[in-house]
Amino acid sequence: MSLLLGALTIGVLLSLLGISVFISFRVFNFPDLTCEGSFTLGAAVAAMLIIGGSSPLTATLAAVLAGALAGTATGITHTRFKINDLLAGILVMTALYSINLRVMSGSNLSLSNSHTFPNAAAQLGLRLAGAESVMVLGWKVPVHDLSILLASVVMVALLVLVLLAFFGTHIGLAMRATGDNSQMIRALGVNDGSMKTLGLALSNAVAALSGALLAQYQGFADVQMGIGMIVTGLASVILGEALTGSRRLAHLVIGTLLGSVLFRLLVAVALRMGLEPNDLKLITAAFVLIALVSPTVIGKLRTQRATGASHA
C-alpha cells in the first residue's frame, strides 16, 4: 500500500510539471524546454535554503521566484532578441545546468535531516489521527504516507483554482488570446511579447514549484533530476486530453492532473512487474508514444466502422 501511496504522491506533485507544460505548449503554443532546467532550479534553491535554516514555506516561495526568473529569461531571449522559441528554451536550459551546480555547490544535496513540507504534513496527520495507521476501504494505510498525499492534493487543488481564476481575468484572457492568435492581439493594442514573457514566467514558476516539492518529498535534490521531465509533463498533458475529450480550459487542466497521476501509476505498475529501473526512460517514451498514436488509431477505427455501417 505504501508503494501505491508513494506513486500517487509523486504523480500529484509532478502534475504541477504537467500544468507547466500545458501552459507553454497548449496555451501559448511555445515548445519551451526551459522547464527541465527550472524544475531542477526549484529543487536546488529550496534544498539549499532549507539546509541553511529557512522554513520550507520560505524556501519553496524562493524556488518559485527563481523559476519565474528563468522563464522570464527565455521570454526576453525570444521576444527581445528574436531568437527561435525552441532555441531560446534550449539556451536557458543549458545555462541553468551550470547555475544549478553553483546553487548546490555540487551535483546533489541531501535533505534527510532537514525539516521539510512532507515532515510537517506527516507530523500534523499523526497528531490528528492519534495512531500510526488507519483503515481506508478495508486497507491498513500508514498515516505518515496518507497525510503527505492529502496535503499534496490540497496544495495542488488550491493552485489549480488560483490558475483557473487568473486565466479568467483580463490579463489571463489576453495571454490565452496571444497563444491563439498573436496578430489579432497586437491589433487590439496588446504587447504579445510581454504576454509571452509573462506566460513563460508563470509556466516555469509552476515547474520550479514542482521540483521544490518533489525534492522535499524524496529527501534530496540532484542536478540530473530534471533531465527528461519535459516528456513526463507532455505525457500528462496528452493523457489528460485523451481522458477528458474536451477543449474547455478547466477540463484540460483537470485532465492534466489526472493524466499525471495515471502516468505515475502506469510506471509504478511496470516497475512492479519486474522491469528494470534503468529502463524507466524507455518506459516513459513508450507510454508517450502510445498516448500520441492512440487517438489517431481510434479515429481511423471509428471512421472505418462508420463507413462500413453506411455501406451495410
DSSP character string of 60-120: HHHHHHHHHHHHHHHHHHHHTS---HHHHHHHHHHHHHHHHHHHHTSSEEE-TTS--HHHH
List the Cα angle 166/172/174 in 5-degree steps. Answer: 170
pLDDT at 310 over 70: no
Position 178 scores a pLDDT of 93
What is the per-residue pLDDT for 72?
Answer: 98
AA identity, residue 124: L
Q: Which is nearest to 218 in space by CA: 95, 66, 108?
A: 108
Mean pLDDT of 81-104: 96
What is the helix (H) or strand (E) element at residue 142, kind and residue range?
strand 139-142
Asked whether the CA dihedral 13, 98, 282, 35 is positive or negative, the reply is positive
pLDDT value at residue 1: 62
**pLDDT tens-digit profile of 165-189?**
999 999 999 999 999 888 888 888 8
DSSP assignment letter at 277: G
Confidence of residue 303 (pLDDT cuts 50, 70, 90): confident
pLDDT at 284 over 80: no
Query: What is the rounded distance in angstroms from the CA atom of residue 190 to the CA atom of residue 301?
Result: 44
pLDDT of residue 83: 95
Give 54 or 267, the one with higher predicted confidence: 54
If one compares 310 and 220, the residue with the highest pLDDT of the two is 220
Please report which confidence band the pLDDT of residue 79 belongs to, taking 50, 70 and 90 as the band edges: very high
Burial class (CB in 10 A: 0-12, 13-18, 19+), 202: buried
Of 94 and 262, the structure prediction assigns the larger pLDDT to: 94
Mean pLDDT of 270-277: 80
Q: In terms of DSSP bridges, do strands 139-142 and 220-222 run parallel, antiparallel, or are they unpaired?
A: unpaired
- With beta carbons less than 8 A apart as the criterion, state whether 152 and 13 touch: yes
Q: What percent of the chain has pLDDT over 90?
A: 63
**pLDDT above 90 (res 218):** yes
Average pLDDT over residues 258-273: 85
Mean pLDDT of the chain: 90
Give me the pLDDT at residue 312, please: 60
Percent share of the chain, pLDDT over 70 = 97
Average pLDDT over residues 8-24: 95
Can you tell me the distance from the alpha carbon of 44 to that of 38, in angstroms, rounded to the nearest whole number? 9
**CA–CA dist 218, 40 (Å, integer):** 13
pLDDT of residue 254: 92
| Domain range list for the chain | 2-225
pLDDT in tens, 115-137: 999 999 999 999 988 888 888 87
